[in-house]
Structure 1
Amino acid sequence: MFIREGAGQEYTPIQQLIKLVESQVSRDIITTGMPQEYVDFWRNKYYSLIAAAMSMKRFAESPRNFHVGGSMCYWDRRLDRGKVTFDANLKGSVNQPPPKMCAERRLLRQLHLGSLISQEGKFESKREDELNIYEPNLDVVGLVVASDQTTTVRSGEQPEHAYKEERAVLHPCGQCLNLLSHDGLVKPWTRIVMVNDVDRKHLVVEDISIEDLLKSHGDTKKFAGDYKTYIEDLMPDLE
């Protein structure tokens, strides 16, 4: 999806994401009275973390269910808000904390992401396994697993399937990938866009295939296993 702005100018979802961080997020943080050093901290070191967290909101309003990594995101019409539930082992109710955390839930717990974003008025977390999402925003969806890497899965267009859908999975564990594949969201023509915050300031985009994702899965799992140490080294002041 492209968003037009001005005289024929178009913004891709990635460009929208960058635009949001450079404008709205920074402005919101500043207006809450947060010290400038923390503004710089979020802007530079956790650029993609803020962007991915903010980008979840638009798709939460979708009438259809969709998966984000090992989680299910859906719109609760009774409560009139979006909800995300986590299920790393695909067994039992998605509203019950899984016995073994996937990388997504481990990150949220480690960073207390729900609480942090709630302080800025974006959304709040009532339990570790549930995020209540407000304020629809971008046309991309993402859930942070690493502050320097986001993977967006996009279904391509084929003559027999005249539709486009966007799904996101970040550092998928095996169960998360099974969720995507089992629900038919990963197609042979699916294109995966990897967004890397290389130097904590600039985002770059690269295309990888499903095969590439599967080949790199071993390294991904190894990285996720040491994720607690990695995050503590990056964010000692937020513990």
Structure 2
Amino acid sequence: MNIGIVTQVRVTSSRLPAKVLLTAGGHSFLEHHLHRLQETGLPVIIATTTNYHDDVILEVAKHAGVPVFRGSEDDVLSRFAGAARAHELDGLVRVTSDCPLIDPTIIAAGVDRWRSEKDPNLYISNCLERTYPRGMDYEIFSAARLYDAEERATLQADREHVTPYLHQNRSGEMRLLNLPWTGGGASYRLCLDTPDDWKLLDALFEDHAATGLNCAELVEILDTHPELSALNAHIEQKKLGE
């Protein structure tokens, strides 16, 4: 079974434009993200847009040895389906590129569980219920269910956010499984969406050697240094459809 990680990337983000190209620890946040994904041993595919602003993503991808699929800027669901078809995937791990510290061991464990279940209608995630810090999120599902969503989903939020049709079980055929975390830190933000997120991530990379740290070690740092987590504690996550 061919399972690949598909990460969505664009530089025209509203709250922090070109955020994935900002740097810390000597590399762009996109480079950090891709390196961590590659540590899973799974194929990694970038799904970006046909917008000329995203041409710059191709150079980063080429340097990292990661293939790129380009599709609709607004219909991200169709973009993911196109990436799956182009790379003949049977199953997908969906992640977003604003997660430069995503833990590859967490993703790998989720994929192992999904493989073992042998159920094409199974959707596995670690964020159906928030137990991990933001920035560790993944979703796993079959290409068959993705193609079904591509054909049937009509709401704008479904098309923009890829998976609501699946994890809200609009088809009535999905089996949902959340894999929780008991290590704490559910209120922490290790994602990159605002300038204050950037401040925290920069501090972690520059002052705390975050490049080589896993989720538990990152949570321990934030537990020990509350002044760090306070940098972006006030940020409200954008709601579905915003």
- Check whether TM > 0.5: no
TM-score w.r.t. length of structure 2? 0.30
Query: Higher strand proportion, which one?
Result: 1
TM-score w.r.t. length of structure 1? 0.30
